[in-house]
Structure 1
Amino acid sequence: MNLKSGTFKAGSTLKLIATADQGYAFDSWTGDASGTDPEYSLILNQDSEVTATFRAIDNNPEISDNIVLINEDLIDTSGYVFAIENGGKRCFLMDRYGQLKHEWNFDLSLGQDAELTANGNLIGLFRGENSPVSFGGQSGILREIEPDGTVIWEYTIANDNEIAHHDFTQLPNGNLLVLVWYRVSNADAKAVGLNNDGDVFMEKVVEINKENNNVVWEWKSWDHIVQDFNASLPNFGVPEANKNKINIGYANTNVHEFVAQGDLIHFNGIAYYPEQDIIALSANFYSEVWFIDHSTTSVEAATEEGGQFNKGGSLLYRFGNQKVYGDNNATSTLNFNHHPSFIKKGNELSLLIYNNNNREEQSRAMEFSLPELDGTNLDLPPTLIFDFTHPDLFYGRVSGAVRLPNGNTLICEGDYGYWEVTPNLEVVWKYEGFNQLYWRGLYYTGDSAEIVNLESRI
């Protein structure tokens, strides 16, 4: 950055670009600017002092055998990849050369998801001994674990009628949103036209206060179904005319072997957008993403009234698969999907998701620009703004994608490892796991609270 000082008109915007000398890489802005993006727009409404911090680059780093491709000029070097072994007993944090920064080994198998906390601990879902279901994704136990492996908090959701599964996310207040399967009787299932032989397991989202272990909010999918089978029930209606509800009849299609066992929807991913208090849910067997309002009370979440949009727990927005409305000849954008994540850039909100795409046996990392999420745009399709695929990219289960600080995308291919691609779809980094399965990969910058506090304790 060549500019050292100057006089500017109040309210004007100055674009700062940090350019590193050879042997160095940009690290972060300090002073009246912050962040790890080398481009920064500074609004000048007062005297400001900004410093660009750089770090020396090791010109001869030791590169792990797992790194099969690396373009050091284009990869994001601001942090670390957090790798989650699928159903295994290990997570690890690695740099871009594949070198371990820290690893966690568990006595229980992971029940899919794990995340770091702001204080440097790990929270994960783990599999217990008791489960009312046999289909994949079950967990039942939530644990918070210190860097040395000490379990400091545990919470169980596993009994004859419900079990936590697949994914959770942390809220800004420290509470957890957790996916849970819960039992609905075979009599109630048959009453709405389902042809299962036994009880079914529907989806709910619960919010757990870790301080007192209370469930402080919940949303249940069964409260928002529509069916055109039994006119005597209050949930009777035409699915195509009730897109804010879940067409439960779609669960009669032979979309997956688990459906016959009672797993009708199969949530496998949850994301939270704090600026609007909205939740995104990956409904795998429906090949859709559903959005619901978290600002409701639990009572309101069971109805179609209340909350910031007065829609209650109805679906605010959905996209991915037109077939769910009853038209089996319609086209679909998604085909089985995992790991939704919100991206906010300026005033634009988008959603990144891993489209497993079993139909074509070629997976895709896709980003969609979203309309306003207020329950009035159910018929407005999203706009596809990023779409990466490759002949070698395919896994029909698990997997995910996250956006990196420099604009690149980190992709987890569940049966392979990790890819990093640029906005121009250039592959600049690949990590091969050599037959290890991965649930997904997250990314933490070196100056994040998660990493800074972890480093202070290891």
Structure 2
Amino acid sequence: MTNKKIAVVISSIFIFIMVISCSTSNDNPSETPVIPAVLNTVGLIRNDAGALNDGYVLFAPIGSNTTYLIDKCGKQVKTWASSYKPGQSCYLLSDGSLLRPGNTNNTTFNAGGKGGIIEKIDWNGNVTWSYTISDALQCQHHDVKALPNGNILVIAWESKTNTEAIAQGRNPNLVPTTVWSEQIIEIKPTGTSGGTIVWEWHLWDHLVQDFDASKANFNTVASSSKLININYNASATNQDWIHLNSIDYNASLDQILVSSHSFNEVWIIDHSTTTAQAKSHAGGNSGNGGDLLYRWGNSLAYNTGTTTQLFGQHNAYWIESGFPFENQIMIFNNGNGRTGGNYSTIEIIKPPVSGYNYTQTLPYLPATTSWNYNYGNPNSLYAQNISGAQQLSNGNVLFCNGPAGIFTEINSSGTTVWQYINPVSTSGVLKQGVTAAQNSVFRSTFYPKTYSGFTGHTLISGSTIEDVNLISTSCK
């Protein structure tokens, strides 16, 4: 046998031994294993030095009625069952309950992100409260937000007739049979299936247009940037004209942050108003009533400037106090329709807030982001829809590529340190070795082990969700 052939044989034996070694469970959990990304097709793909492992990841596969809590080793820790597929977000509350909208399959509002019912499910899997917003005139969708007082903020579509739209100055050539506006309602839960609406805001009360001078809301759009142009992005075929897809709350400012997918903008609204003030243009801490306090992402929406920074974005939220970039806003910028080609970025912006108001320099500042990931697409990231990102306490960022069902943690330099592929598809749990498909997830959220929702509960890591691992998933 030639020296070359001997070398090939030795090399092959070495590779075989290494694969067997990596496929054998590690009996010492204190050792961080080498996890080659080429073997696993679902579940844990990698867990490298620098990953924030002291906690758990919550997610609700879009094609499943089950919500999962896993550890950073990819092991299943907890599940919650529901009668509904998600609609769409999910949260672990400070009392250990799961807050989760469900999809009631409303046939009137047949669009992506639809929900219709909100459920609270306790640690033991019991539905302790539910509230339905789903009929021919309105439907909850995408996201909800629990407030410190226990109330729930909800975004919901609100149907308007073409006659009502034209009466507000919509161009008659750009009106479908119905137009879906948006509303934000605050629900105070009562009993097991009831609630009182204690505050509400309706987009329909804050419109402007420069098409029909006979209407009361006629004005120059560029001089009315705190209002929404009813003719922007309008068409005779698109009912879902605004498409809010996330909601967040800032307790110190008493303000609400929402993301409008169709406008390529994030908006901030004053929550300190009464419902009556929220219908008007005055009142509240800001003195602006229910008008927009701030908007960012697309100056074309208010006829100022020539550029767009956001493209079909999702998951706009205020970063927690004490974290890097605290109180700034993180956005998953999907990049669908981005100038120069489609790719996704994660961006942090620092709005110019002073007291309860925002500097009214137009276009709205900042001109540049505080931090961004994937500008220029060096990581080949593109998530066309859904998705989200979360700043972690150590400066890492956990993001969810929603359509692909991939959760990735990067450090502050953008290096991948942890990755997991959702193994739950619309047809059930995928087998290891099968290429993942139809395993989309709206968002993934990390909760540290010190989170109050875990107090009094025993969390035990079990087996992986998928049937078997090709490699060890023992990790620190």
Same fold (TM over 0.5): yes
Q: How much does 1:105 deviate?
A: 2.7
Q: How much does 1:60 deviate?
A: 5.6
**Structure 1, unaligned stretches of length 5 or more?**
1-55, 254-258
Q: How much does 1:148 deviate?
A: 3.0
Structure scoring higher RCO (CA < 8 A, sep ≥ 6) equals 2
Distance 1:146 1:61, change over 3 A: farther
Which string of whole-angstrom CA distances, capped at 9 and with x for unpartnered residues, describes residues 179-224 of structure 1? 0101112102123124123011100100000136000000111111
Pair 1:391-2:393 in alignment:
no
Pair 1:263-2:240 in alignment:
yes
Which string of whole-angstrom CA distances, capped at 9 and with x for unpartnered residues, describes residues 164-187 of structure 1? 111001100010000010111210
Which residue is equivalent to 2:458?
A: 455
- Aligned with residue 416 of structure 2, among 427, 450, 453: 427
Q: How much does 1:344 deviate?
A: 4.6
Q: How much does 1:361 deviate?
A: 1.9
| One-letter amino acid of the counterpart of residue 229, structure 2 | N
Q: Which shifted more, 62-71 or 396-405?
A: 62-71
| One-letter amino acid of the counterpart of residue 234, structure 1 | A
Which residue is equivalent to 2:282?
A: 305
**Structure 2, unaligned stretches of length 5 or more?**
1-27, 423-435, 462-476
- Aligned with residue 135 of structure 2, among 151, 159, 179: 159
**Contact 1:219/1:298 (8 A) holds in 2:** yes
| One-letter amino acid of the counterpart of residue 113, structure 1 | S
Pair 1:248-2:251 in alignment:
no
- Aligned with residue 171 of structure 1, among 135, 147, 169: 147
CA distance in 1, matches of 2:29, 2:297: 43
Q: How much does 1:95 deviate?
A: 1.2
Q: How much does 1:62 deviate?
A: 11
**Contact 1:348/1:369 (8 A) holds in 2:** no
Pair 1:364-2:309 in alignment:
no
CA distance in 1, matches of 2:34, 2:123: 25
Q: Where does 1:36-435 land on structure 2 (aligned, <5 Å)?
A: 58-59=30-31, 66-71=43-48, 73-191=49-167, 192-194=169-171, 195-211=174-190, 213-252=195-234, 260-326=237-303, 330-345=306-321, 349-359=327-337, 360-372=341-353, 374-378=356-360, 379=362, 380-382=364-366, 383-389=368-374, 390-416=378-404, 417-433=406-422, 434-435=436-437
CA distance in 2, matches of 1:230, 1:407: 50
- Percentage of matched positions with identical amino acids: 32
SS of match in other structure, 2:233: helix
CA distance in 2, matches of 1:457, 1:173: 31
Which string of whole-angstrom CA distances, capped at 9 and with x for unpartnered residues, describes residues 64-89 of structure 1? 85222221x21112211112212531
**Contact 2:52/2:394 (8 A) holds in 1:** yes
User: Paired residues, what number?
Assistant: 396
Q: Which shifted more, 58-67 or 259-268?
A: 58-67
TM-score (norm 2): 0.79
CA distance in 1, matches of 2:122, 2:107: 27
Which residue is equivalent to 2:8?
A: none
Pair 1:443-2:446 in alignment:
yes
CA distance in 2, matches of 1:375, 1:242: 16
CA distance in 1, matches of 2:100, 2:201: 22
CA distance in 1, matches of 2:97, 2:118: 13
SS of match in other structure, 1:450: helix
CA distance in 2, matches of 1:234, 1:418: 48
| One-letter amino acid of the counterpart of residue 344, structure 2 | S
CA distance in 2, matches of 1:418, 1:165: 23
Distance 1:420 1:242, change over 3 A: same
SS of match in other structure, 2:276: helix
CA distance in 2, matches of 1:375, 1:246: 18
CA distance in 2, matches of 1:453, 1:341: 29
SS of match in other structure, 2:222: helix
**Contact 1:119/1:454 (8 A) holds in 2:** no
**Contact 1:350/1:368 (8 A) holds in 2:** yes
**Contact 1:323/1:330 (8 A) holds in 2:** yes
CA distance in 1, matches of 2:458, 2:97: 11
| One-letter amino acid of the counterpart of residue 443, structure 1 | F
**Contact 2:105/2:114 (8 A) holds in 1:** no
SS of match in other structure, 1:163: strand
